[in-house]
């Protein structure tokens, strides 16, 4: 069990850190570069939503970030399981 | 890149004790046979080749070059090549489309600050290599190039902080640094492996949350978190896959 939990948690941490900073950087860049409103996500699951209003801008990070981080964790755990099997 | 005329020397901290190489960082004594002792006692690879030939080797030069290469890769032997010769060899090889790697360098360091000092030059070289990209991308790009250089320093400092109480040496394989240390227990090995990528990545998250406009600049630091995955050595070590 530990052999899967640790890679999963490390994958969540890795994916979470990278996605969070990337999402903030995207919001800052969109604001500075004068981009119009946009939304990144799949269906109802939102990763980042950038909204340009008349006098302000807003960047929203959706639950998609958490789900994407969890997906990174699952991928890492799968990768670790494959590597472990090859090492045997 | 190693050639016969190059000077050789035991790496800092490594000593020849009788018929064994003592490596206090690895915490082990490495037994040597007669041929190996001839090589590590020589001042140049050429001298080692002559000693091997005198001892009956059919191709002492090639044996000496190969053995010195292996010892250098393992951080046990320093190969000193003058800068001018190094540049000339690189240029000569580059004409044939080959990129030569400089010999591995083992640096004796004391504490995380020593690691940071030892990495100052490689970090600076990396920053300068990325500077042209930065110039195209403007001030933010230049600052991101600087953050990329700082990232490799923070990464190794993270490992060094987790190695408190354990002797270690800095190994520089071109621009790729790593810390050499003795084999550790499972939990300690895991924490050392995680600490390296975690320090720059956590710094990036903290800075991005505290001062949002710096997020594009510190993004290269966040990328170190990817080393926590099984795609990188640190991640594999943390998962007990090495």
Mean pLDDT over A52-56 rounds to 88
B241 pLDDT band, cuts 50/70/90, is confident
Indicate whether B131 pLDDT > 90: no
Strands (E), B140-230: 168-173, 176-181
Tell me, yes or no, if B138 comes closer than 8 A to chain A by beta carbon.
Answer: no
Cβ contact, residue pair A21, B219, below 8 Å: yes
Q: Which of B230, B228, B241, B240 is nearest to B190 (CA)?
A: B240
Angstrom distances, CA of residue B221 to CA of B77, B95, B210: 33, 35, 15
Mean pLDDT over B219-237 rounds to 94
Indicate whether B28 pLDDT > 80: yes
Q: Are A26 and A48 in contact (CB under 8 A)?
A: yes
Locate all alpha helices (DSSP H) within B20-59, ordered by sequence: 34-41, 45-54
Question: How far apart are the C-alpha atoms of B9 and B44, rounded to whole Å?
Answer: 8
B89 pLDDT band, cuts 50/70/90, is very high
Choosing among B137, B203, B225, which should be mutated to test the A contact, i.e. which has the most A CBs within 10 A? B225
Rounded percentage of chain B residues whose pLDDT exceeds 70: 100
Rounded percentage of chain B residues whose pLDDT exceeds 90: 85
Indicate whether B95 pLDDT > 80: yes
Indicate whether A24 pLDDT > 90: yes
> Which chain B positions have a beta carbon within 8 Å of A3's beta carbon?
239-240
A9 pLDDT band, cuts 50/70/90, is very high
Q: Are B239 and A80 in contact (CB under 8 A)?
A: yes
Question: How far apart are the C-alpha atoms of B80 and B8, rounded to whole Å?
Answer: 6
**pLDDT value for A40:** 93
**pLDDT value for A87:** 86
Choosing among A5, A21, A87, which should be mutated to test the B contact, i.e. which has the most B CBs within 10 A? A21
Exposed, middle or buried: residue A29 (CB in 10 Å: 0-12, 13-18, 19+)?
middle
pLDDT digits (tens, 9 = 90+) for B37-68: 999 999 999 999 999 999 988 999 999 999 99
Cβ contact, residue pair A79, B230, below 8 Å: yes
> Which chain B positions have a beta carbon within 8 Å of A72's beta carbon?
229
B84 pLDDT band, cuts 50/70/90, is very high
pLDDT digits (tens, 9 = 90+) for A58-76: 999 989 999 999 999 999 9
Indicate whether B230 pLDDT > 90: yes
3-state secondary structure of A14: helix
Question: How far apart are the C-alpha atoms of B223 and B228, rounded to whole Å?
Answer: 10
Q: Which of A85, A18, A28, A34 is nearest to B205 (CA)?
A: A18
Tell me, yes or no, if A14 comes closer than 8 A to chain B by beta carbon.
Answer: yes
Cβ contact, residue pair B241, A28, below 8 Å: no
Question: How far apart are the C-alpha atoms of B7 and B1, rounded to whole Å?
Answer: 13
**pLDDT value for B137:** 79
> Which chain A positions have a beta carbon within 8 Å of B238's beta carbon?
6, 10
Cβ contact, residue pair B204, A17, below 8 Å: yes
DSSP A62: -
Other Cβ atoms within 10 Å of A44 Cβ, number: 8
Partner B, chain A 42-81, Cβ-Cβ below 8 Å: 72, 76, 79-80
- Nearest by CB to residue A21, choosing from B198, B222, B231, is B222
Cβ contact, residue pair B225, A20, below 8 Å: no
- Please, how many CA atoms are within 13 Å of residue B16, restricted to the half-sphere of its CB? 15
Take residue B10 and report the two structure tokens written for it. 């035991």
Parse chain B into domains and list their residue ranges: 7-94, 109-238
Other Cβ atoms within 10 Å of B54 Cβ, number: 10
Indicate whether B242 pLDDT > 90: no
């Amino acid at each position: 069990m530990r052999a899967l939990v640790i890679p999963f948690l490390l994958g969540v941490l890795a994916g979470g850190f990278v996605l969070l900073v990337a999402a903030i950087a995207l919001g800052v860049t969109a604001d500075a570069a004068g981009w119009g409103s946009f939304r990144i996500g799949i269906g109802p699951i939102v990763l980042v939503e950038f909204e340009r209003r008349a006098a302000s801008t807003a960047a929203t990070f959706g639950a998609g970030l958490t789900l994407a981080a969890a997906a990174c964790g699952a991928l890492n755990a799968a990768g670790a399981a494959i590597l472990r099997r090859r090492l045997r | 890149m190693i050639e016969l005329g190059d000077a050789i020397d035991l790496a800092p901290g490594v000593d020849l004790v009788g018929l064994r190489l003592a490596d206090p960082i690895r915490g082990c004594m490495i037994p040597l046979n007669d041929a190996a002792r001839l090589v590590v006692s020589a001042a140049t690879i050429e001298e080692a080749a002559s000693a091997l030939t005198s001892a009956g080797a059919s191709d002492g030069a090639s044996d000496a070059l190969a053995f010195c290469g292996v010892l250098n890769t393992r951080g046990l032997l320093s190969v000193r090549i003058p800068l001018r010769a190094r540049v000339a060899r690189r240029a000569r090889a580059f004409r044939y489309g080959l990129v030569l790697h400089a010999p591995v360098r083992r640096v004796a360091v004391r504490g995380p600050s020593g690691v940071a000092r030892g990495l100052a030059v490689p970090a600076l070289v990396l920053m300068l290599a990325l500077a042209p990209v930065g110039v195209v991308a403007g001030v933010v790009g230049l600052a991101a190039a600087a953050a990329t250089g700082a990232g490799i320093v923070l990464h190794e400092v993270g490992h060094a902080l987790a190695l408190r109480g354990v002797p270690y040496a800095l190994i520089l394989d071109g621009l790729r640094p790593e810390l050499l240390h003795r084999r550790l227990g499972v939990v300690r090995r895991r924490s050392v492996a995680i600490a390296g990528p975690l320090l720059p990545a956590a710094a990036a998250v903290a800075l991005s949350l505290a001062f949002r406009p710096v997020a594009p600049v510190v993004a290269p630091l966040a990328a170190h978190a990817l080393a926590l995955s099984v795609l990188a050595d640190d991640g594999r070590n943390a998962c007990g896959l090495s």
